[in-house]
């Protein structure tokens, strides 16, 4: 149990410093290779960086419009049409946000009444739990089960009651690397339609899907566009995680509700970066294809290394992350393991237990990020290979 902070509101008492910040600080303190937090160790395309510099020099430095600049809203709309055939009106159905994080917070604050329930899948990205709590909502989780992170439809259906407001989905999924398939998405969609639920879907890893699989936005399924709010961001697609340019799109009334909350969180952000991301979204097919190929190669380097090191590896189909079970190495507790890993071999990872309500399931699972240069991954693997000999 976390020590109580007497100033912190009751609904946030379960939250402390995010594990990503803790583990990044540990990496710096111990001079370890940081495979904890999900940020790339190379910047995105130079022409996109140049576009941001140009935007600053051209004087795009004051508050942009509340919805986001028009050229970026148009670019988001064109992107959705180009990749998924989704028609989005850039004037009424797109909102630019301070990263996907703000879009998530604004959605939950805007859409959920205090006491209403939000269903999500565990393990879940920690922002979800906090955003639900900030909205005063109640979290209900459905477990994604190893080795393939499938879920039980009956369990999902049993979580819905008259107090359920929405399903919060994330595909491709952090931390598991699962890409929800058509059948799974159809089951979720059917339930949402039958029970008249909204779906908020976080698709920030939409372009990091491997092995010929494809990302399916749930809003493209029958009867879903009118009840879905889709969230994405420039962070993972363009490798500028520090710029915090995200967006949401959905039917105009739903989006207008989210806009009200967003407007009083940050109002607007990142004026020059909005201009740069408007350019980035127009990059050609090769950019997007190579992004996924390059990341799949990095996934292979790390996953093969983790297997050699003796872990049970749940090979991801997308994202930046691979989860392992540490028990084959004789370890049991992922939190202890991650705090000790820098001492043992100079690598930092993240314990998945913090992404679970069911701590027993999460306890032996640990997440490694592979969005790093191949030589960094090779070096990390060399270090991880020494673990076996230490037992």
Which residues bind to ligand PMP, rule: CB under 6 A? 38, 99-101, 125, 170, 174, 202, 204, 233, 235, 241, 244, 246
Q: Tell me the helices (H) and strands (E) count for the chain, helix number first.
A: 15, 13
Query: To the nearest whole angstrom, how small is the minimum distance from the Cβ of residue 233 to ligand PMP?
Result: 3
Identity of the residue, 99 or 342, whose beta carbon is nearer to ligand PMP in the bound complex: 99
Query: To the nearest whole angstrom, how small is the minimum distance from the Cβ of residue 195 to ligand PMP?
Result: 24
Identity of the residue, 202 or 279, whose beta carbon is nearer to ligand PMP in the bound complex: 202
Phi, psi of 268 (to 5 degrees): -145, 170
Tokens, residue 27: 């990496």
Buried b (16+ CB within 10 A) or exposed e, 263-282: eeeeebbbbbbbbbbbbbbe
Largest CA distance in the chain: 61
Residue closest to 293 by CA, chosen among 208, 205, 178:
208
Query: To the nearest whole angstrom, how small is the minimum distance from the Cβ of residue 99 to ligand PMP?
Result: 2
How distant, in Å, are the alpha carbons of 103, 110, 130, 206, 342 from that of 255?
A: 10, 10, 21, 20, 44
Query: To the nearest whole angstrom, how small is the minimum distance from the Cβ of residue 40 to ligand PMP?
Result: 11
Identity of the residue, 200 or 235, whose beta carbon is nearer to ligand PMP in the bound complex: 235
Tokens, residue 263: 């407007």
Identity of the residue, 121 or 311, whose beta carbon is nearer to ligand PMP in the bound complex: 121
Identity of the residue, 224 or 245, whose beta carbon is nearer to ligand PMP in the bound complex: 245
Identity of the residue, 302 or 387, whose beta carbon is nearer to ligand PMP in the bound complex: 302
DSSP-assigned beta bridge partners for residue 116: none
Query: To the nearest whole angstrom, how small is the minimum distance from the Cβ of residue 193 to ligand PMP?
Result: 24
Query: To the nearest whole angstrom, how small is the minimum distance from the Cβ of residue 55 to ligand PMP?
Result: 19
Q: Which helix (H) or strand (E) holds 237?
A: helix 234-238
Query: To the nearest whole angstrom, how small is the minimum distance from the Cβ of residue 172 to ligand PMP?
Result: 8
Identity of the residue, 143 or 233, whose beta carbon is nearer to ligand PMP in the bound complex: 233
Query: To the nearest whole angstrom, how small is the minimum distance from the Cβ of residue 265 to ligand PMP?
Result: 12
Identity of the residue, 101 or 143, whose beta carbon is nearer to ligand PMP in the bound complex: 101
Identity of the residue, 174 or 230, whose beta carbon is nearer to ligand PMP in the bound complex: 174
- The string of DSSP letters for 55-86 reads HHHTT--SPPPTT--HHHHHHHHHHHHHHH--
Query: To the nearest whole angstrom, how small is the minimum distance from the Cβ of residue 7 to ligand PMP?
Result: 26
Among all residues, whose Cβ is closest to ligand PMP?
A: 99
Identity of the residue, 32 or 233, whose beta carbon is nearer to ligand PMP in the bound complex: 233
User: Cβ distance 246 to 231 under 8 Å?
Assistant: yes
Query: To the nearest whole angstrom, how small is the minimum distance from the Cβ of residue 163 to ligand PMP?
Result: 25
Torsion sign (Cα): 295, 313, 39, 135: positive
User: Cβ distance 164 to 200 under 8 Å?
Assistant: no
Distance in Å from the first CA to the final CA of the chain:
30
Neighbour-count burial of 95, counting CB atoms closer than 10 A to its CB (0-12 exposed, 13-18 middle, 19+ buried): buried
308 alpha-carbon distance from chain centroid: 28
Rounded to 5 degrees, what angle do the CA atoms 368, 370, 371 make? 130
Could you give the 3-state DSSP secondary structure of residue 167? strand
């Amino acid at each position: 149990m976390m020590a109580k902070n007497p100033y912190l509101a009751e609904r946030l008492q379960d939250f402390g410093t995010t594990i990503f910040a803790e583990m990044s600080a540990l990496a710096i303190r111990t001079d370890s290779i940081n495979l904890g937090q999900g940020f790339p160790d190379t910047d995105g395309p130079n022409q996109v960086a140049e576009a941001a510099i140009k935007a600053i020099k051209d004087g795009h430095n004051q508050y942009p419009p509340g919805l986001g600049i028009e050229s970026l809203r148009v670019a988001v709309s064109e992107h959705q049409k180009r990749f998924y055939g989704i028609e989005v009106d850039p004037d009424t159905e797109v909102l630019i946000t301070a990263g996907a994080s703000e879009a998530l917070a604004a959605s939950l604050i805007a859409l959920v009444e205090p006491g209403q329930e939000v269903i999500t899948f565990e393990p879940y990205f920690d922002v979800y739990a906090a955003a639900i709590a900030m909205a005063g909502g109640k979290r209900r989780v459905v477990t994604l089960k190893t080795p393939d992170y499938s879920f039980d439809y009956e369990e999902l259906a049993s979580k819905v009651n008259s107090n359920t407001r929405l399903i919060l989905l994330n595909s491709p999924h952090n931390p598991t690397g699962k890409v929800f398939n058509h059948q799974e998405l159809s089951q979720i969609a059917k339930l949402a339609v039958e029970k008249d639920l909204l779906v908020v879907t976080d698709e920030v890893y939409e372009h990091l899907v491997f092995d010929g699989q494809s990302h399916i936005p749930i809003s493209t399924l029958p009867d879903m566009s009118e009840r879905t709010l889709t969230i994405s961001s420039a962070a993972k697609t363009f490798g500028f995680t520090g710029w915090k340019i995200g967006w949401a799109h959905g039917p105009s009334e739903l989006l207008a509700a989210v806009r009200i909350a967003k407007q009083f969180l940050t109002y607007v952000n990142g004026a020059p970066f909005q201009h740069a991301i408007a350019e980035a979204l127009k990059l050609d097919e090769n950019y997007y294809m190579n992004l996924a190929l390059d990341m799949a190669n990095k996934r292979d380097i790390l996953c093969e290394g983790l297997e050699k090191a003796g872990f049970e590896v749940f090979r991801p189909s997308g994202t930046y992350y691979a989860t392992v079970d540490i028990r084959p190495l004789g370890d049991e507790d992922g939190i202890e393991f991650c705090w000790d890993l820098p001492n043992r071999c100079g690598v930092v990872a993240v314990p998945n237990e913090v992404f679970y309500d069911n701590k027993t399931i999460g306890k032996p699972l640990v997440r490694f990020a592979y969005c790093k240069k191949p030589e960094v991954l090779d070096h990390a693997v060399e270090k991880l290979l020494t673990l076996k000999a230490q037992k």
